[in-house]
Structure 1
């Protein structure tokens, strides 16, 4: 019995590690595509003028990104794994296009240094979510409420344009996305541990894509919040 139990535990561990590795690999691919696209677009004056000088095109890109996220979340069980992968890649590229605007606001040095600060912070939080024995479900719910608060406060501040409010939102945002990173990592680990061993490769692939999208969004939002705090202005 002990031998069978040990083999079962070992098999589960291998399956969990394989799934989590796939999630982080796809997340890294998404971040690389976003970073390359943002850097390329920011260095092309024609593209920058076409995108940010045309509000219709800019808002079309933003709504297109939101549409892709909602579509993936709602239809991931019904679409093919290749389609889910393609949509994730397209989203990463579109996000890179819109994020190229940060190069107009912040210095390249501060963007790079903030990226490494974000990567270190994200890694620590993700490792904590992976190894902690504490159930982070309640914390995740609290952080989701905080996220809603951030969205509402950001919309309100679009009218007031208060620098103090903007900075407060950034500090709260860092706390929220630090918590969500740990929570989402633990949720993915639990999902990997409880999924049936006989799931098809396509189903596992789609789960990995959705997991990658979740952590990708945590990383990008944490990066933007930190950039508002530590980023050096080009002015």
Structure 2
């Protein structure tokens, strides 16, 4: 009796391997971006002339934030028009700018709070990535919910700038943690779907590089946003305990 190879099984194994390759590249570039951001933020915070100029020059700071927005738009919108190397350069430049704009946290928060927030964010982020990757549930329905939730958080935060109520601030922070943790899982599953679509072109190194940078940017933004929400939450709780 002639035995034929299980082509379906072989295809599934190849696709799984392609997805793993894609995610390794995504997390590698994301980690590079975070390390670059952390180094520049730390270095700038320890350079009095630079940090004082940034904190005292609101126009310059707003210009940096606007440039960051432009970079995210360019990477997302011109993904198929730019080379992998160009997109990588833009992502690293974006990470550097984030280091500049976030250097002030070392002046606003003590190092123990920052360290605690980073560790908490790392474990939370990793847990939600694992869940988003392995869950069999379709998380696409969360997309509109998360967008509306974050939009509501932004509006509530702007209103609270005028009210300046600590209780409202705490509620906003707790709700923000929920939505940003869901966003991590949602984006992870979204990237998994992207990996399945580009798996047939896994040998196209530049194509893989472009989509890896896109994935790195998505998860990088998720991590940064989650980190700052948790940082504010921990600091707010510490201040309440001291009262």
* Short-chain TM bin: over 0.9
Equivalent in the alignment of 2:95: 92
Equivalent in the alignment of 1:13: 16
CA drift of 1:59 comes to: 0.8
Question: Which runs of structure 1 show a deviation greater than 4 angstroms over 4 or more consecutive aligned residues?
Answer: none
Tell me the TM-score normalized by structure 1: 0.94
CA drift of 1:196 comes to: 4.8
TM alignment of 1:26-65, pairs within 5 A: 26-65=29-68
Equivalent in the alignment of 1:221: 225
Please give the per-residue CA displacement for 1:27-52, whole angstroms capped at 9, x wherever unaligned: 10111011111111111111111111
CA drift of 1:159 comes to: 3.0
CA drift of 1:160 comes to: 3.0
* SS across alignment from 1:22: helix
2:46 & 2:199 partners in 1: Cα distance? 47
CA drift of 1:166 comes to: 2.4
CA drift of 1:102 comes to: 0.8
Equivalent in the alignment of 1:111: 114
Q: Is it true that 1:194 corresponds to 2:194 in the alignment?
A: no
Q: Is it true that 1:230 corresponds to 2:212 in the alignment?
A: no
For structure 1, the residue ranges without an aligned partner over 5 or more in a row are none
Which piece of structure 1 moves more, 199-208 or 149-158? 149-158
Equivalent in the alignment of 1:141: 144
Equivalent in the alignment of 2:210: 206
Q: Is it true that 1:76 corresponds to 2:79 in the alignment?
A: yes
2:76 & 2:169 partners in 1: Cα distance? 29
2:40 & 2:95 partners in 1: Cα distance? 9
CA drift of 1:155 comes to: 2.6
2:170 & 2:44 partners in 1: Cα distance? 27
1:2 & 1:27 partners in 2: Cα distance? 39
CA drift of 1:2 comes to: 5.3
For structure 2, the residue ranges without an aligned partner over 5 or more in a row are none
1:202 & 1:25 partners in 2: Cα distance? 16
* SS across alignment from 2:201: coil
Name the count of aligned residue pairs: 234
Equivalent in the alignment of 2:173: 170
Equivalent in the alignment of 1:182: 185
Q: Would the alpha carbon gap of residues 196 and 130 (structure 1) be closer, same or farther in structure 2, given more than 3 Å must change?
A: closer
Radius of gyration: which is bigger?
A: 2
Q: Would the alpha carbon gap of residues 77 and 159 (structure 1) be closer, same or farther in structure 2, given more than 3 Å must change?
A: farther
Q: Would the alpha carbon gap of residues 53 and 193 (structure 1) be closer, same or farther in structure 2, given more than 3 Å must change?
A: same
1:166 & 1:73 partners in 2: Cα distance? 32
